[in-house]
Amino acid sequence: MRKTIRIRKHELGLWFRHSELYQVLEPGKHAVWSLPFRGRINDFEVLNTLSPRFEHEDLKALVRDQCVASRLSVVDLKDTERALVWIDGRLGAILAAGVHAFWNQNAEVVVERFNVSAGRFEHPKLETIENFPGGVRFFTGVRVESHEQVMLFKDGKLVDQLGAGRYAFWRGGPNFTWKSVDLREQVEDIQGQEIMTADKVTLRVNLVVTHRVTDAVKAVTEVVDWSQALYREAQLELRAAIGGRSLEKLLADKDEVGGEIKNRLAKRVAEFGVSVSGVGLRDIILPGDMKVILNQVIVAEKQAEANLIRRREETAAARSQANTAKLLEQNPVLARMKELEALQEILRGTQATFVLGQGDLSEQISSLIKREAVK
């Protein structure tokens, strides 16, 4: 029996006999024999070449046929190889190891091959590639901000320092890990801890440390966690500074204590790449009973100061009066003027007229007052 098969322009026909490729059918009409014997002798398959990727269970056998292979871009990748396939300028696929094929008659196919042994992946269209569906199966990456520095480790060994940008690494290649270090100035709050002063007073002190990382390599390689190391060292220096002072000296010299802690702490943390720009005692928390006692002491001190000032003023006033009396005694004219001022003050607001003659003014005034009292 004859059978007619029509292959369109964008198609390709495959004629199988006994499960083996017998003939490739080009676009057009084809008359073929279809024998009605038991079993499948002839099989026909029509392929659509408009679909970019060609997938078939017998792909490896089919690409050996020259007629089929001439219409395909065949990509055969080893275990350590990967490939990017660009179709008409757009990313069409990311390929793992194996045999892959793409129709190239109706589209421009460009294949880029890479070796994952290199580890790091660099490409001008990196963001497009990483955002491609399924791209996470092939890449792992890190984005570094402008205020960061990233230490890159290859199989546990420091190999590079990454500045601002986006970086990608092949999965299946060398084992890359990284640690990010923030280079901006930071403030660390050292929470209150129980500390005993030199005079056996137990208190809690909160410390504020302003710092930044100046050597990212040391910060990552010299200590396990530079932030925790800074916190621990600040606690130790705080204990040493508080324990060597009495409560009175501590409260009077808080700035001095902060400066002492800063100098000692800066030397220690510089060993793992950190600089300290400022240290301050934020809170000094006393026990409840100690607060009451301290308030009583302050009140007593202020009362004593007030009494001292009051006595000082009284003494100054008495001394001034004594000096005035001595001055009046030595200067009769000045004494007469003071008498007139006193008389003016007494007669202020009255309309009486007095005529005073010669003699002692005070005696005349006393005589007038006595007369007025008799009336």
d(CA 101, CA 74) in angstroms, rounded, equals 4
- Statement: residue 372 has pLDDT above 60: no
Reply yes or no on whether the pLDDT at 356 is more than 60: no
Cα angle value 314/320/321 (rounded, 5°): 95
Q: Of 221 and 370, which is predicted with more confidence?
A: 221
Superfamily of domain 186-286 in CATH is Band 7 domain (3.30.479.30)
| Six token digits for residue 189 | 């709050």
171: CB partners within 8 A, 6+ apart: 116, 137, 138, 139, 140
pLDDT digit string, tens, across residues 33-74: 665 544 456 778 888 888 888 888 888 888 888 888 888 899
Looking at residues 80-105, what average pLDDT do you find? 92
* Structure-block tokens of residue 79: 């275990």
* DSSP-derived secondary structure for 32-84: EE----SS--EEEEEEETTSSEE--TTHHHHTTSHHHHTTEEEEEE-TTEEEE
Quick: pLDDT tens for 127-178: 899 889 988 899 998 999 999 999 999 988 999 999 999 999 999 888 889 9
Q: What is the pLDDT of residue 361?
A: 59
Comparison of pLDDT for 338 and 140, the residue scoring more: 140
Are the C-beta atoms of residues 183 and 215 closer than 8 Å to each other? no
Domain boundaries, the chain: 119-184, 186-286, 287-324, 331-375
What's the pLDDT score for residue 253?
79
* pLDDT band, very low/low/confident/very high, at 211 (cuts 50, 70, 90): very high
Q: What is the pLDDT of residues 274-329, one digit of tens each?
A: 999 999 888 777 765 655 656 666 667 777 777 888 888 888 878 887 777 777 77
Which pTM was predicted? 0.62
Confidence category of residue 94, pLDDT binned at 50, 70, 90:
very high
User: Tokens representing 286?
Assistant: 């006393």
Rounded to an integer, the average pLDDT of 186-214 is 85
- Position 105 scores a pLDDT of 83
222-242 pLDDT, tens digit each: 999 999 999 999 988 888 888
Q: Nearest to residue 194, comparing CAs of 186, 206, 204, 183?
A: 204
Give the closest residue to 203 by CA, choosing from 152, 164, 160, 238: 238
Greatest distance between any 2 Cα atoms in the chain: 172
Min mean pLDDT across 169-183, 199-213, 335-349 is at 335-349
Residue type, 17: R
Choose between 337 and 28: higher pLDDT: 28
Q: Which tokens go with 213?
A: 């990382």
